[in-house]
Chains A and B, each alone.
Chain A
Amino acid sequence: MNEVPLTHILFVSTALFFIGMYGLFTRRNLITMLMSIELMLNSVNINFVAFNKYLFPDKLDGLFFSLFIITIAAAEAAVAIAIIINLYRSHQSIDVDDATEMKF
């Protein structure tokens, strides 16, 4: 079970985080940007659980952090989608380049 070192799990989560970052930089559609943010949040959760399991197995603090992150991510996704649908209603588009009224 412990033959996979902790660093390899951290490599997976790092790669996942930067894939999410790449998506956030290149996408211009609000829904796909939200998907990239979900990927980044998930990579953080993997880190919390892995550190908890490998370094501090006598405590459960990492698990609680990931539980609360999952809860807050669900609330965030719901609010973001409400905003996206409202934006679509007023602009007929959810492209970030089309919402420029407040641009300085």
Chain B
Amino acid sequence: MNTSTIIFYAIAALILGAAILAVTTLKIFRSAIWLLFSLVGIAALYFWMQVEFIAAIQIVVYVGGIVVLIIFSIFLTQQSGKEMAKPATSKMIFSALAALFGTGFTFNLINHYGFNNISAAPFNPSVDEIGMQMLSTTSHGFILPFEVVSMLLLAAMVGCIVIAMKPTEATIVHLNKKED
């Protein structure tokens, strides 16, 4: 039991505790803040696994982007001090049973599988290596998904603007005319 092991279990406890509070607390704003803690814990887990680039991306995209977006939408749609309605007891019990069953089943599978091909080769997730492989066109390059995902982001951005846009007077009049 050395320092690294203790740090791992502390990070695991932070992630799981914050996640449980995020899905059970009744105040929606607190739920968002617990989600923030859980995501920071996951970034810490990536730092612990020495994949610094993924950890940085996790902090930039999730903590800096998605949680802020969620908090903005809470402010736009809710009275954040108000408590949400408690879910029905039967639903809570059956959901908890389903989750516990799934957890137990998967724990059992993982426990009995026995990963015995643990490799000791050096792991080099440096930004150099990631960048070279991301943009390489050889057989292990990821240039095609990289370009496709950029199109996806563009489509998502345009889609968001179109969905959330308030209909202007002109379009409303136009639609009414069509109905007549």
**Which residues in A have some Cβ–Cβ distance to B below 8 Å?**
1-12, 14-16, 18-23, 25-29, 31-32, 34-36, 38-39, 42, 45-46, 49-50, 52-61, 63-64, 66-68, 70-79, 81-86, 88-89, 94
Contact = CB atoms under 8 A, between A and B. Distances in A.
Closest 7 CB pairs of A and B: A23-B23, A57-B123, A25-B95, A75-B156, A22-B99, A82-B160, A82-B164
20 contacts: A6-B115, A18-B103, A19-B23, A23-B24, A26-B87, A27-B23, A42-B39, A46-B42, A54-B118, A58-B119, A60-B129, A63-B51, A63-B54, A63-B130, A70-B58, A70-B62, A74-B65, A78-B160, A79-B156, A94-B77
Interface in B73-131: 73-74, 76-78, 84-85, 87, 91-92, 94-96, 98-100, 102-103, 106-107, 110-111, 115, 117-123, 125, 129-130
Contacts, number: 213
B121 to A, nearest CB: 5
A92 to B, nearest CB: 9
Given A14-B106, A22-B23, A22-B96, A29 B70 contact: no
A63 B87 CA distance: 38
Contact of A12 (B16, B39, B51): B16
B84 A49 contact: no
A3 B7 CA distance: 12
Given A2-B118, A20-B19, A42-B62, 14 more contacts: A3-B5, A11-B110, A14-B106, A21-B98, A22-B95, A36-B23, A42-B38, A53-B49, A54-B119, A63-B54, A64-B142, A74-B61, A74-B66, A78-B156
A88 B62 CA distance: 24
In terms of DSSP, what is the predominant structure of the interface of chain B? helix
